[in-house]
Structure 1
C-alpha cells in the first residue's frame, strides 16, 4: 500500500489553476501525508542591479519572497481543505535543483508537478525543469494534468518482462507494485503493457533462409510467457496484460489512449553509476508521447547528482 508521509508539490506561476496542488490534497486525504507547497522565485535583474548594495539587493529578494509566500498561502487557503500545508519559497535560479533539494530536506516521498497543455489542448508539454526532475530526483515524480481521477479508472504500468537484466526485473516488480497500490487507492484497475521489437528487415535480406515469421512468433511467445509469470506474482488479471509488437513509445502511448488511462507508471532509469541510463532513450520517448498523468519511478539504489548544500 502507498505509504506517503510527506508530499512536495510545486506551485507554478505560469498556470491559472494549480492541478498539482489539487492532486496532492487528494493523495494526502487518502494517505494522511503532510504537504509542503514549494514556489521557486528568481529574478536575474535583482542580481545585476549594480547601483544597489548587497544589503539592498537582499532586502529586495526578501520582499519578493514575502510577497510570493503570501500568494501561495492564498492559493492554499482557497482550496478549502482541512489538510495542513507548509508553504516554502526558495530564491534560486535553477528550479529543479531547488525542488530536489527541498524534497530531500523534507524527506518527501513523491514530488508532484503539473505538466503544461500544448496548443491542441490534448497533448502536454514537458519543460526542461520537468525533464531534470524526472531524470535526477531520487524519489518518484508525478506529472499531472488538470483533470480529476475518477473511480474505477485504469492504471497502466509499462514493464519490460523480456529482459534478462536483474535490475530491470526488479524495476518491473517495483512498477507493478506501485501501479497496484495506486489502483487500490483509487479503486481502479491495474493494466500491464510490454512492447517487443520486430526483427530488422535487413536480416531477411542478408540471410534469405532466415524465417522472419517464425522468429516473430518465437519472440512473441517468449514475452507472453514472461508476462504470464510476472502477472501471476501480483495476481493481475490476464485480460489486463498487454504484450504487443512495436516501439515502446508507440505501444505504451497507444495502449494508454485505448484504455483512457488515468496514470502511466514508468521506470526512468534502467542502470546506475557508469552504466547506460534508460531515461536517455526509451523511457524519455515514451513519456513524451503520453497525454495522461505520468509517475516516473527510479530503481532502488539510484543516487541523485543533486546534493544538499
Structure 2
C-alpha cells in the first residue's frame, strides 16, 4: 500500500482540516513516507486576459501556500518530509486527479464533516468525485482523533449479494491488514445481511420462515468465517449482523466506537464503476467515523 512512500492531503482553504493533516502525518511517519499538502483555488474575477491578471493569480496562490505552510510546519514536528502545492483550478477533485497522474501516491487524505444535529456527513462534489475516480486508496477523515488502541472494521460481502466484483473483498481486507500492521491496530470483518426481501417472497403457509431464516443466517455465517480464515483473521473477529446495511453498518460503527471503517470502490476505464452494494451513498453519509475507501 505504501509502495511510493507518498501521502497527499487534499485541503479546502475554507474548511478546518487540522485533524486530517495530523492523521496523515502520523501515517507518513509510521510508513516513512513523504507528505504533500495540496490545494487548488480559483477566482473568476482573476481569470481574464487583463495584463495584471497573471500576477493576481500568482498572489492568490501564494496566499494559499502560506496557509498550507502553517499546517506543514505542524506536520514537520513529526520529523517527516512535508511539501506544499497549490494550483489554479476551479474543480478541486479534477486538480487532485491531474496531480496524481504525474505524482504517484499511495494514499489521498481529505477531511469531511459530520453534523451531529442531523446525523449526517456532508459529502461535497469533490468527495464523490474522489470516491468514484481516485486511483489510490482514499481516507475521508472526521475531526475526532483516533484512540490509542485503534480498531479497524472492514465491511465485506462474502456472499456477493450486492453485484460487486468478486475481488473487491480481497482489496478491502488487504488494505485493512496493511493498515493494521502500520497502526498496530485491531482488525475485524463486518458482514451485514438483510434476509427481508427473500423472506417476503417466501412468505407462504407451506414454508417454515423460521427454518428458512436460520438457513440464510448459517449460509452467511459460514461464508464470512471462510473468508476470515482464508485471510488469517480469527473467526472471533468476523462479525455477522442482520438487518438493513443502511441502518446497521453506521449503528455498529458508532456502538463499538470504531476508528476507521474500510469499504470498497473499484473503477475501471473511467466508465465502469462499482461501489460495494451496501456502501452506497445513503450509507456513507450516516457514518460518523473515518472511512478508508479501498481501491
Question: Fold conserved (TM > 0.5)?
Answer: yes
Q: Deviations over 1:107-164 (max 9, x none)?
A: 0111100112325397532222111111111111100112322332210000001128
Hey, what does 1:159 align to over in structure 2?
156
Please give the alpha-carbon distance, in whole angstroms, between the structure 1 residues aligned to 2:111 and 2:256: 22
1:11 aligns with 2:11: yes
Alpha-carbon contact 2:132-2:267 (below 8 Å) kept? no
Shift, 1:167, TM fit: 6.4
Shift, 1:226, TM fit: 0.7
Hey, what does 2:63 align to over in structure 1?
67
Alpha-carbon contact 2:9-2:20 (below 8 Å) kept? yes
1:262 aligns with 2:259: yes
Hey, what does 1:305 align to over in structure 2?
none
1:240 aligns with 2:237: yes
Q: How does 1:160-199 map to 2 (within 5 A)?
A: 160-163=157-160, 168-199=165-196
Alpha-carbon contact 2:133-2:267 (below 8 Å) kept? no
| TM-score normalised to structure 2 length | 0.89
Hey, what does 1:231 align to over in structure 2?
228
Higher mean displacement: 275-284 or 4-13: 275-284
Shift, 1:281, TM fit: 6.9
Classify 1:203/1:260 alpha carbon distance in 2 versus 1 (closer, same or farther; 3 Å). Answer: same
3-state SS of paired residue (2:166): helix
Alpha-carbon contact 2:165-2:274 (below 8 Å) kept? no
Please give the alpha-carbon distance, in whole angstroms, between the structure 2 residues aligned to 1:232 and 1:178: 17
Give RMSD over aligned pairs: 2.6
Alpha-carbon contact 2:154-2:261 (below 8 Å) kept? yes
Alpha-carbon contact 1:4-1:109 (below 8 Å) kept? yes
Hey, what does 1:101 align to over in structure 2?
98
Shift, 1:256, TM fit: 1.1
Report how many residues are paired. 293
Hey, what does 1:90 align to over in structure 2?
87
Please give the alpha-carbon distance, in whole angstroms, between the structure 1 residues aligned to 2:226 and 2:276: 26
Hey, what does 2:39 align to over in structure 1?
39
Hey, what does 1:213 align to over in structure 2?
210
Shift, 1:21, TM fit: 1.3
Structure 1 spans left out of the alignment, 5+ residues: 299-309
3-state SS of paired residue (1:169): coil
3-state SS of paired residue (1:138): coil
Hey, what does 2:201 align to over in structure 1?
203
Please give the alpha-carbon distance, in whole angstroms, between the structure 2 residues aligned to 1:36 and 1:272: 27
| TM-score normalised to structure 1 length | 0.85
1:118 aligns with 2:115: yes
Alpha-carbon contact 1:249-1:286 (below 8 Å) kept? yes
Alpha-carbon contact 1:4-1:110 (below 8 Å) kept? no
Please give the alpha-carbon distance, in whole angstroms, between the structure 2 residues aligned to 1:270 and 1:64: 34
